[in-house]
Amino acid sequence: MNFTHEQEPAINSFARIVKLVAFAGTGKTTTLVGYAKARPQCRLLYLCYNKSVEIAAKQKFPPNVTCKTAHGLAYASIGSKYRHKLTSNLRLTDIARVIGSQNWELVRSVQETLNNYLASADDDIELCHCPVSKLKTERMKRAAGSIVEGARQLWLQMCDIHNEAANITHDGYLKLWALSKPNLRDRYDIALGDEAQDINPVIAGVLAQQAAYGMGVVVCGDGHQMLYRFRGAVDALNATWLDKAEVHYLTQSFRFGSAVAHVANMVLAFKGESRQLAGLGGETRVSKALPTDLEHRTVLCRTVVGVIETALANVEAGAKIYWVGGIEGYNLQDIEDLHALSKGWRDRVKGKKLLQEYPDYDLYKQIADESQDPEMNRSIKIIEQYSADLPELFAKLRRNAVTDELEATITLSTAHRSKGLEWDAVQLAEDFTFDPFNPDNEKEPWIDEMNLLYVACTRAMRVLAVNSTMLEIMKEFVDRRDGRKPNTPMVFRKKQAAAA
């Protein structure tokens, strides 16, 4: 296989620690496969971001590469001991029961504190893991001691194999594995850490440990595609242990042509990126709307609500819809159960745990309001908007859902789920509603939203239909380039400093 002048130096590198910075569509996976094939005598571990990436990777990498998620490694070592008390998530009512409180604001804070700890590289639960909103003043910090104590109590019971009253999550056993300081050098010579911009500190810490143990480590990713800060992710590409790494850049994209690359570069320019993404793929076109005669199109939304609303808007015309990740991954059944509860139709609720935890819809709304749980509030919004016809509409969505994308007339996804995928024709939905040039923006949320737009735009291989937010960015870029506006750096509102 022929590699580019950017790929070859990375593939043939003799450095023990390598950092590969790969822009969208620039052949990152191809480069890693080439790296592995160039070392047939080495045992490589490809640390995958999720299970679907693991399955796809096993089809691409040579036999000397083991493809595993961090959770998969952790389960084999520690998680299997907890299989009798594993849960996908801890509900607020589960936490309330364990810590013995019905103060839902406290319960929510304990949940956030524990999640922050599980995603961190820290050994113990401390005040720094509490929600920032609970640490604004010294008085609030002192009061937050009860949050820390509740999180410690919850974690202690989760870790107790014999305590089945407190289940443990998958992130829980992953944390326990990381705390054990695993040494993978006996099984592997080199670790490949993919999507390094979106791994959380606990996994980044495991990679750093392997480097400290003398193992070869290659980390790769694109900081502009960091999407999961809200889950505690960090850009491991900026870790201090990589300061002496050999660095290689991939900037030539063969996914799309110059038009889409130009749009992506506008986003990157406002983020301060000095390198240009080159579009070397086929001819591409950027417009305000997709052509009406397309056999298939993809709509990328900012939110799950946006996906469902787009589906509802298209299903009446008989559209065959492919849902990236599967239709049930968009919580339709949970929303239907909650809708039945809101109508008092308790016998129609399939998830009986909902009835056990919330005897009526008013309590659900009360907890959602007091805890500000985004999933709960999102479900309430859908129910109240489509209340009368929701069961019939959802039934039609299921009838028109297809599992083979080749049968679909429209593919729907959130921008988050679209990462790593590509389509001929992509439309950006109008639920990317942030104001990119509002001086009241805080820096990190602004970066996250710009990253989402960058990822969404770079999924298009032939035609990209931009939304009003992207049009505003394009107009601002042109105005500054042509001198109609001063080319001043972005200014952000600073986070509120903690008062003394």
Query: What pLDDT does 358 receive?
Result: 87
More confident residue, 148 or 355: 148
Last residue of a domain, one of 153, 175, 197: 175
Residue 305 sits in the same domain as residue 418 = yes
| Per-residue CA distances from 272 to 447, 458, 490 (Å) | 11, 18, 9
Whether 363 is in a domain gets the answer yes
Residue 407 sits in the same domain as residue 488 = yes
Residue 108 sits in the same domain as residue 171 = yes
22 labelled binding-site residue: yes
Q: Which two tokens stand for residue 451?
A: 């990253």
Query: What pLDDT does 80 receive?
Result: 95
Last residue of a domain, one of 250, 276, 302: 250
Whether pLDDT at 398 is above 60 = yes
Question: Considering only CA atoms, which of 124, 125, 120 is closest in space to residue 204?
Answer: 120
Whether 448 is in a domain gets the answer yes
Residue 70 sits in the same domain as residue 119 = no
29 labelled binding-site residue: yes
- What is the C-alpha to C-alpha distance for residues 460 and 413, in angstroms, rounded to an integer? 13
For the chain, what is the domain count? Answer: 4
Give the residue numbers spanning the domain of 60: 7-77+180-250
Indicate the range of 152-166, 301-315, 463-477 predicted with least confidence.
301-315
Residue 381 sits in the same domain as residue 313 = no
76 labelled binding-site residue: no
Chain segment 261-284, per-residue pLDDT in tens: 999 999 999 999 999 999 999 999
Contact (Cβ atoms closer than 8 angstroms) between residue 122 and residue 129: yes
23 labelled binding-site residue: yes
Whether 490 is in a domain gets the answer yes
Helices (H), 194-318: 201-212, 258-270, 304-315
Provide CB contacts within 8 A for 469, sequence distance 6+: 428, 432, 433, 434, 436, 453
Whether pLDDT at 102 is above 90 = no
Query: Which amino acid, 221?
Result: G
Question: Which H or E run includes 84?
Answer: none
Last residue of a domain, one of 175, 194, 218: 175
Q: How many CB atoms lie within 10 A of CB 355?
A: 15
93 labelled binding-site residue: no
Residue 158 sits in the same domain as residue 271 = no
Residue 316 sits in the same domain as residue 417 = yes
Residue 24 sits in the same domain as residue 126 = no
Residues of the chain above pLDDT 70, percent: 97
Query: What pLDDT does 199 receive?
Result: 81
Whether 381 is in a domain gets the answer yes
- What is the C-alpha to C-alpha distance for residues 101 and 92, in angstroms, rounded to an integer? 10
Whether pLDDT at 331 is above 80 = no
Whether pLDDT at 43 is above 60 = yes
306 labelled binding-site residue: no
Whether 258 is in a domain gets the answer no
Of the CA atoms within 13 Å of residue 127, those in its CB half-sphere come to 11
> Would you place residue 311 in the very low, low, confident or very high pLDDT band (cuts 50, 70, 90)?
very high
Query: What pLDDT does 236 receive?
Result: 73
Q: Which two tokens stand for residue 359?
A: 């005897």
Residue 336 sits in the same domain as residue 380 = yes
Domain CATH for 53: 3.40.50.300
Residue 416 sits in the same domain as residue 489 = yes
> Would you place residue 496 in the very low, low, confident or very high pLDDT band (cuts 50, 70, 90)?
low
Question: Considering only CA atoms, which of 279, 251, 302, 309 is closest in space to residue 470?
Answer: 302
Residue 322 sits in the same domain as residue 303 = yes
More confident residue, 200 or 75: 75
Helix axes 201-212, 104-119, angle to 10 degrees: 20
- 460-489 mean pLDDT: 93
- 434-462 mean pLDDT: 93
Whether 261 is in a domain gets the answer no
Helices (H), 235-284: 258-270
- What is the C-alpha to C-alpha distance for residues 265 and 221, in angstroms, rounded to an integer? 17
Query: Which amino acid, 359?
Result: P
Chain segment 161-211, per-residue pLDDT in tens: 999 889 999 999 999 999 999 999 999 999 998 888 878 888 889 999 999
Q: Which two tokens stand for residue 96?
A: 């309330």
Q: Which two tokens stand for residue 349?
A: 């609720």
27 labelled binding-site residue: yes
- 399-425 mean pLDDT: 94
Classify 239 in phi/psi space as left (phi over 0), alpha (psi -120 to 50) or beta.
Answer: beta
What's the pTM? 0.81
Q: Is 208 exposed, middle or buried (0-12, 13-18, 19+ CB in 10 A)?
A: buried
Query: What pLDDT does 498 receive?
Result: 40
Residue carrying the six token digits 């003394």: 500
Domain CATH for 300: 3.40.50
Query: Which amino acid, 342?
Result: S
Query: What pLDDT does 497 receive?
Result: 42
Whether 115 is in a domain gets the answer yes
Whether 419 is in a domain gets the answer yes
| Per-residue CA distances from 26 to 8, 112, 192, 221, 251 (Å) | 13, 36, 17, 11, 6
Alpha carbon 113 to its chain centroid, in Å, reads 19
Residue 163's SS3 state is coil
Residue 226's SS3 state is coil
Residue 491 sits in the same domain as residue 435 = yes
Query: What pLDDT does 374 receive?
Result: 66
Query: What pLDDT does 495 receive?
Result: 62
- What is the C-alpha to C-alpha distance for residues 206 and 186, in angstroms, rounded to an integer? 15
Q: Write the DSSP assignment of 453-498 as a string of letters.
A: HHHHHTTEEEEEE--HHHHHHHHHHHHHHTTSS--PPP--PPPPPP
Q: Write the DSSP assignment of 309-340 as a string of letters.
A: HHHHHHHTTT--EEETT-GGGG-HHHHHHHHH
Question: Beta strand pairing status for 216-221 and 17-22?
Answer: parallel
Question: Considering only CA atoms, which of 78, 44, 40, 51 is closest in space to residue 184?
Answer: 44
Indicate the range of 63-67, 309-313, 400-404 predicted with least confidence.
309-313
Query: What pLDDT does 477 receive?
Result: 94
- 95-121 mean pLDDT: 92
Contact (Cβ atoms closer than 8 angstroms) between residue 263 and residue 275: no
Alpha carbon 486 to its chain centroid, in Å, reads 35
Query: What pLDDT does 143 receive?
Result: 86
Question: Considering only CA atoms, which of 199, 193, 252, 232 is closest in space to residue 57?
Answer: 193
